[in-house]
Structure formats: C-alpha cells, structure tokens
Structure 1
Amino acid sequence: MSSLGLRFVGHSTVRVELGGHVVLTDPVLTNRVSALTRVTPPSTAADRADVDLVLLSHLHGDHVHLPSLRLLHPHVRVIVPRGAGDWLRAKGIRRVDELAPGEELEHGDLRVIGVPADHSGHRWGPRLTHGPQAKAMGHVIEGGGRRVYAAGDTDLFPEMADLGDLDVALLPVWGWGPTLGPGHLNPERAATAVGLLKPRVAVPVHWGTLALTGLTRAPGKHGRRMRHLLEHPPREFEAAVSEAGSPTKVLVTPPGEDVRLLDGVPE
C-alpha cells in the first residue's frame, strides 16, 4: 500500500499526497474571502507546492475561491461539478474537467469518484436563481490501496453508508459564522456520519479558519460565541464519536498543520 500524507490547510482545504500525486480540496489560500478573514496563520507556498489536481465540491465562494485558484500553476487540473466548467474557464482557469455524483475519472494512478452531497449548489446561495449553478458533491480519492473521502459541504444523506471501505473521511463539523444554514454538519451530525461511513480515521475540517471580519473581537455574547466556535466544534465531534462507541480514530488537527498519521498510514 502507498503511504498517505495529509495537511489541513484550513477551512475545507486539505492537501492530500497519495499515489505520487498532490491533491488540494476546495483551495482557500488567501487571508481574505469576501467579508471573511482568516484568523489562523496564513497559508504558505508549501501548501500549494507540486499540486497537480484540485477537487471542487460546489460553487460557493469559500469553496470555489477564484483568487486562490489563480495562485496555482495554470496547468493544474481542476475538477468542477458538472455544468460549471464553462463558467470556470471564463474566469481564466485553463485546465478544467467536470464530474458529477456517480461518475469517476482517472488522474495518473489516482481514481476520483464523484459522490452525492446534501447542500446548495448555487454560487450565491439557495434562495437565488440567477448566476451559475451545479450540483454540490463530494469525492472519494483512490490510489495506492488507499481511499479518502472529502465530503465538501453536506448534511447527512443515506448513501453515506454505501461509500465502502474508507481509510480517511474529511468531514465538516462547522462553518465560518455563529450559526449554520441548511446543508451542513454540526459536531453531533458529523458523528452520526462517522457511524454511517465507518472510516478508520476521521479528520474534522471546515472549522477554525475563517470568520466575519471583526466578529471575533466583538464585545459581549456575540464575540464570545464566535471565539468558542473557532475552537470547540472538532473537540465536540471527537467526544460525540467516542460516546457513540465508534472504533474510528478522530485526529483533530489545527489549520495549517500536518495530520499525524502513523508513518503515513491510518492507525
């Protein structure tokens, strides 16, 4: 089996080193995303070094972040949900392929399988109809005898139980604000997802990285709540998985750090 390297770059961005390739999920590599500010140390050039494949789960601006995509080499292969390829090419991204749930593609020695997600696929959110739209999705990455599930943004969906033997599940456990809208996992629902997926290792993502500018310094209960949410969701997720009696090992990893797999192998 091939070794596996993971770095939680921040938010939904994970650097996956597998099968001789470097994959980035939903890259957010800048210090600002619209009205959001990165509240952890900045992403570095090492996060994007040698990347040859990018997986985009859906079109929301904190997942398809055009300034971050433009930091990558123009010949990096970018996989976008089916129906959004022309829109992304019109934004200057050169090498774009499309994928949908139920479809798969090969990239060298990797196989990428599109899987469902329960989340809005519209660029500007679930209540708008103008602008680009494509079905939100997750990805299973296979290579060197390893299987990694990158959920993107999603709530629970029944097909989670059918994704098969997983070494690692990258699961969202919160977001960037004081509340969650529809189509998201909170710590408790992410623990339920672990029960369906049964991965060897779960890595909580989509937490602790971005916040509305100034909110973390706000006085009173609003600032306190945001500061709490930047730190506690992954630990609450870990506790919920443990309470459920799951054998899955939860590896809580701060944004910007490598996931501590045992010699590159899920424990």
Structure 2
Amino acid sequence: MTLQRLPLVRSIGGRPDPAAFHGSAQFRDGFFHNRQPAPVVEQAGRASIARDFARKGSTGRPRGPIPVRTPELPATAADCAATWLGHATVLLEVGGHWVLTDPVWSERVSPATRVGPRRHHPVPMPLRELPALSAVLISHDHYDHLDARTIEWLTANQETPFVVPLGIGAHLLRWGVPPDRIVELDWGQTHTIDDLALTCAEAQHFSGRLFTNNTTLWSSWIVATETASAFFGGDTGYHDAFTTIGDEHGPFDLTVLPIGAYDRRWRDVHMDPEEALLAHRELRGRVLLPIHWATFDLAFHSWEAPIEWLTRAAGEVAVAAPRPGERFGVDGGLPTTPWWHDVIRRGGSGDRPV
C-alpha cells in the first residue's frame, strides 16, 4: 500500500499556540516539562550519538526475515484483545470497541520518504482493512508515533476522533483533520465515547518534530469500559507515577509497554525491559504486551536484545509475545513461542516474510 507523499514542510506539522496551555501544570516558560527530572541528551551527547550511529553498521537489524501474520479479526471487537501491528501501533479491543494506537503505516519514520529509519517488516494489514474505529490514540508527536501520511488516510476514510495530548491538535489541523474530530487532553483528563473512557495519563518523555522540543505534551493512555481495561504506555522512561496509576485505575487486563530503543544516555526517557516489568507490576497488570521493538532501528542494542531480556527476566509475569499481525485475547492462549530465534538464526518463518 502506497501512502500519499507530502511536502517536507507539511509533514513536519503545525505550530501549537502556547497561550492555550497556561492552565496545564505541565506547561511553563513556553514548554512542557516532565514532573520528575528527565534530562534529554545535550548537544555534545547528540554529536557522540550521531557518530555512533554512523559506525554501528548492521547492529540493530534483524539477521533474517521477520515473520508477519495477516490479522484474523472478528466481526466485532472482543472484551479485551490486541493485535500488534509493529512498533507502537496496536489495534486494541476493549469492551467491544476498536481503538488504534500510534498508527504508523509509512515505510520510514521521518518527515522525508527517502531518508530516516526504515521498516524491518511490512505493516501486517492495509489501512483499508481496519474495522470502524471508536478512537485513534496518539502518545506524542515523534515520527515513529505520529505519521502524517497515515493520519491523512484515516481522516479521509474513517469517522473516528483523534484523542491526543495537548498541542498535537495543531499538527492534525495542518493535515486536514476537522476540529470536531480532535480531542486534546492534559494528564488526568478523560474523554468518553459511549461507554468507553479514554484517560490521558503521565509519561516521562519529550516531544518535537524538527528543531524545537517540548511544545506539545506526551502521555500514556488508559482505555477502559465497565468490563475491561488496558494501559498503553506509548513511549516513556520509568517514573514513580506507575504505582499511582495502578492504584487509581488498575488492575489492568492488559498493559502495553515499550521495551526497546534503550540506552544509558537516554535512560530517563526510554524504559529497558526490566523497567517495563516493574511498571507492569506497579500498574497491577494481568498480561503484558511488549512494544517499541522489532520494527525500526532506533538505538544501539541488537535487534533481538529487548525481547530476549524481557522473556528471561519475566518470572511470574504473563507476557504475550506475538508476531507482527498476530491477534490474541487475554483470556485465551497467549502467544509465547520465541519466534525471534528463527530470525536470529537467519532462517526466518512466517506468512509474509520480508
């Protein structure tokens, strides 16, 4: 599936109005801030990171083809199920609602179509085969979580609202999303759609699509009905609010938490697998779906390192480890086969390997 190519300036997005955010406890001095200190890499550190990326070669790439499953979706959404479509894109089923998180269908996570991190595997399903969505959730505005081309397609072909953290509405307006389909929330605020409650929750990260960081907010999301609940972590470092969220909104049937793209130089804004397990326990989660690994090369660890570390350290935690496109329900048999072993043995297997 080919998405429409956008001019570079348009793909970057809009300019949020700082005057709109003065009521937010997260906003001061013209920028959004984490509640806890979480320094982003300084300029000297960025230079060393750029140098290391130039030298790292094939580290971070899969050694074999990644198995991709064509999703087998029911006619109606289940009470609690999920289909991991790669990276942070997940099709959630909660209380009979379809909710899509951080949808990215583009080949590269970049404002341009010819440069930037490229997919290791195709998206398991075309956009046109998505069910009618109750909502699209966005965690923050980095290119690997907010894809302008995908947003434009969803705007034209679905009727769903986009529920986003403060400031991201400016990007959506730039890409043609009608104002009445944009819901901007601060941490702690909730938007309801029939019996579905979508609560914007704390995350520890940063934002930015070009040269200016933190003019839009970042968040995690609580997706809940009276019968089921899921926590979507988006992209975050470990923080002490996981316990508070678990106490106030848990227990969760499903937690969807990032485990990849970690590095000691940015540990405050990206969790490693051990921290994801700790967060899952503090959230009082039942099943953990690990995301933010396998699809794009965004750090210096090997391709399989996040899932290998997670499964070794999981202990009593119920971990779902689906292939991209593989659907599972929290009350059914969880996918636990270590399919990535075939990839690192250069064998590969699956329905549609690359």
- TM (norm. structure 2) is 0.63
Deviates most, 139-148 or 80-89: 80-89
1:44 paired to 2:125: yes
Deviates most, 164-173 or 115-124: 115-124
1:6 paired to 2:82: yes
1:172 paired to 2:251: no
Instruction: Determine the structure 2 residue equivalent to 1:30.
Output: 106
Task: Pick closer, same or farther for the CA change 1:9–1:136 going to 2, 3 Å.
Answer: same
Runs of at least 5 residues in structure 2 that lack an aligned partner in the other structure: 1-77, 111-115, 335-354
Larger fraction in strand = 1
The one-letter code matched in structure 1 to 2:173 is R
Deviations 1:55-79 (A, max 9, x none): 0011111111111112222522101
Matching residue within 225, 235, 242 for 2:308: 235
How far off is 1:160 after superposition?
0.3
How far off is 1:241 after superposition?
2.4
Q: Percent identity?
A: 29
CA-based RMSD of the aligned residues comes to 2.5
Runs of at least 5 residues in structure 1 that lack an aligned partner in the other structure: 213-221
The one-letter code matched in structure 2 to 1:76 is T
Contact kept in structure 2, 1:149 and 1:168, CA below 8 Å: yes
The one-letter code matched in structure 2 to 1:193 is A
Q: Which has the higher contact order (CA 8 A, sep 6+)?
A: 2
Secondary structure, in 3 states, of the residue corresponding to 1:200? strand
Deviates most, 19-28 or 40-49: 40-49
Deviations 1:54-108 (A, max 9, x none): 0001111111111111222252210111122133212212221111111001012
1:98 paired to 2:184: yes
Deviations 1:208-253 (A, max 9, x none): 01137xxxxxxxxx9xx66x32x231231122221xxxx4311112
Q: Distance in 1 between matches of 2:281 and 2:225?
A: 24
- TM (norm. structure 1) is 0.81
How far off is 1:262 after superposition?
3.0
Largest Rg, 1 or 2: 2
Instruction: Determine the structure 2 residue equivalent to 1:215.
Output: none
User: Number of residue pairs matched?
Assistant: 242
Matching residue within 147, 151, 159 for 1:75: 159
Instruction: Determine the structure 2 residue equivalent to 1:122.
Output: 208
How far off is 1:197 after superposition?
1.7
Task: Pick closer, same or farther for the CA change 1:87–1:3 going to 2, 3 Å.
Answer: closer
Please give the residue correspondences for 1:137-216 in structure 2 after superposition, counting only pairs within 5 Å: 137-163=219-245, 164-175=250-261, 181=266, 182-211=268-297
Secondary structure, in 3 states, of the residue corresponding to 2:105? coil
Task: Pick closer, same or farther for the CA change 1:195–1:211 going to 2, 3 Å.
Answer: same
Task: Pick closer, same or farther for the CA change 1:110–1:173 going to 2, 3 Å.
Answer: same
How far off is 1:179 after superposition?
7.9
